[in-house]
């Protein structure tokens, strides 16, 4: 089985830690960034199969990451996690594969990641 290269952009430390633990159980590894700026720096250096990004973050938010992905024509799968209650129409401007509303079913998501890159 090919190991998917994952980038998780999440500022909440507990949530980041839980992603890490959950992915580990299923044998995945991920690169973690805690804001939009860190994420774009990682994207400069590396290619990822899947980018999971939060929207509201300090320093630079998720839209900063989405702008970067769009401008560099990065072809990764992009999932957006948002703590907002309703769909933000700003997302319509980007090619996003999936919008996930918090709180989400992390176990389900990790299993899907496994299925996606089998």
Partner 1 sequence: MDQQIFLNTNSNLQSVLEFSLDSIMVCDSKGKIVYWNPASEKLFGYTEQEAFGKDLTIIIPNEMHDMHTNGMNRFMSTREGKLIGNTIEVNAKKKDQSIFPVELSLFHWEEDGSIFVCAFIRDITTRIKSEDELADLRSIIDSSPSCVRLIDSFGNLKKVNPVGLDLIGAESPEQVYDACIYDIVHEDDRERFKEFNEMICKGGSGTLIFKIVSLNGTERIFETFARPHQMSNGQIGHLAITNDISERVKADEKLRKKDAELEEAQRLSVIGEFAAGIAHEVNNPLAVLIAKTQLLELQIKSLDIDAEDKVKELFKSLEIIHETVNHTADLIKNLKTFSTKDKFGTLEFSSLSEIIDVALNICKSRCSFAGIELKIDIHEKIEVECSPVSLSQVILNLILNAIHAIETIENKWISIKTKTSEKGLQILVTDCGSGIPDDIVGKIMHPFFTTKEPGKGTGIGLSLSRKAVAKMNGQLYYNTNSPNTQFIIEFEKYR
Residues of this chain that bind partner 1 (CB under 8 A): 12, 14-15, 18-19, 21-22, 25, 56, 83-87, 101-107
User: Which of 2/103 has CB closer to partner 1?
Assistant: 103
User: Which of 74/110 has CB closer to partner 1?
Assistant: 110
Instruction: State the nearest-atom distance from the C-beta of 102 to partner 1, in Å.
Output: 4
User: Is residue 32 classed exposed, middle or buried when 0-12, 13-18 and 19+ CB atoms within 10 A define those classes?
Assistant: middle
User: Which of 75/102 has CB closer to partner 1?
Assistant: 102
Instruction: State the nearest-atom distance from the C-beta of 25 to partner 1, in Å.
Output: 6
What's the CA gap between 91 and 96, in Å, rounded? 8
Chain centre distance of CA 44: 16
**Hey, what are 90's tokens?**
């700003």
Greatest CA span in the chain, whole angstroms? Answer: 37
Instruction: State the nearest-atom distance from the C-beta of 61 to partner 1, in Å.
Output: 12
């Amino acid at each position: 089985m090919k190991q998917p290269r994952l980038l998780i952009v999440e500022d909440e430390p507990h949530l980041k830690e839980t992603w890490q633990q959950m992915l580990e159980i299923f044998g995945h590894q991920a690169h973690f960034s805690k804001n939009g700026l860190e994420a774009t720096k990682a994207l400069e250096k590396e290619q990822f199969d899947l980018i999971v990004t939060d929207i509201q973050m300090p320093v630079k938010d998720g839209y900063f990451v989405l702008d970067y992905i769009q401008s560099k024509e990065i072809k990764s799968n992009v999932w957006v996690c948002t703590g907002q209650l309703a769909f933000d129409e700003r997302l319509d401007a980007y090619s996003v594969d999936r919008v996930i509303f918090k709180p989400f079913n992390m176990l389900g998501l990790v299993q899907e990641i496994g299925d996606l890159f089998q």
